[in-house]
Amino acid sequence: MKISIPNILTIFRILLTPLFVILAQKNLFGHALLVFTLAGVSDALDGLIARLFNQRTELGAFLDPIADKLLLISAFISLSVPGILPGWLAVIVISRDVLILMGIAVLTVTGIDFQIRPSWVSKCTTFAQIAVIFFSLLQLRLAGLLPVLEPLYWLSAGLTILSGLHYIYLGMTILQAGTDQKPGNR
């Protein structure tokens, strides 16, 4: 199996996550911002390279969303515990991801074949969540961004809830179609 550059970048992003958490715990928020930005750039690069050079792999399709979720959940926890981010927002973000994982587990256990593809609203949600982390860290370095943060919190929360409801709908649709196809359920 040949390892592609996008997959190396994704693994690099996964390895940056503990470094980000350590820096945030040590209140080295400028360094944490740098690591978070580097992770964001590597995320954009791995997708761009995979598309431009036809280096999409099954491993990459599996690892990329895991790397994103690992970084974002770690960031929301690391920044909400000391009160940099509102705790309620971290709960919404993490709850959505737990619901998605539970849905995947249910579909897997029931033996229903499915593919995970991020929806448009999910991509917007991820962008908003990244913006919340980025601007919250930047606020610690450059005072004055506070007026931007509050609406961004609410936008991120709204998109996260909308995305969660959309995934619940999709999951229920897949589950219903899959159980209808099983022998004895007709």
Per residue in 101-153, pLDDT (tens digit) is 999 999 999 999 888 778 899 989 999 999 999 999 998 887 777 788 999 99
pLDDT digits (tens, 9 = 90+) for 151-167: 999 999 999 999 999 99
Residue 35 inside a domain? The answer is: yes
Q: Which of 121, 8, 123, 132 is nearest to 78 (CA)?
A: 132
Residue 67 inside a domain? The answer is: yes
CA distances (Å), origin 166, targets 67, 174, 177? 22, 12, 17
Q: Percentage of the chain surpassing pLDDT 70?
A: 95
pLDDT digits (tens, 9 = 90+) for 23-39: 999 999 999 999 999 99
Give the domain extent around 30. Answer: 5-181
pTM of the full structure: 0.90
Q: Which of 60, 56, 62, 130 is nearest to 93 (CA)?
A: 130
Q: What is the dihedral of CA 166, 168, 169, 170, to 10 degrees?
A: 90
Amino acid at 154: W
Q: CATH no. for residue 25?
A: 1.20.120.1760
How many domains does the chain fold into? 1
Residue 135 inside a domain? The answer is: yes
Residue 186 inside a domain? The answer is: no
pLDDT at position 131 is 95
Judge residue 112's burial from the number of C-beta atoms within 10 Å of its C-beta, 0-12 exposed, 13-18 middle, 19 or more buried. Answer: middle
Per-residue pLDDT band for 1 (boundaries 50, 70, 90) equals low
- Mean pLDDT for the chain overall: 91
pLDDT at position 70 is 96
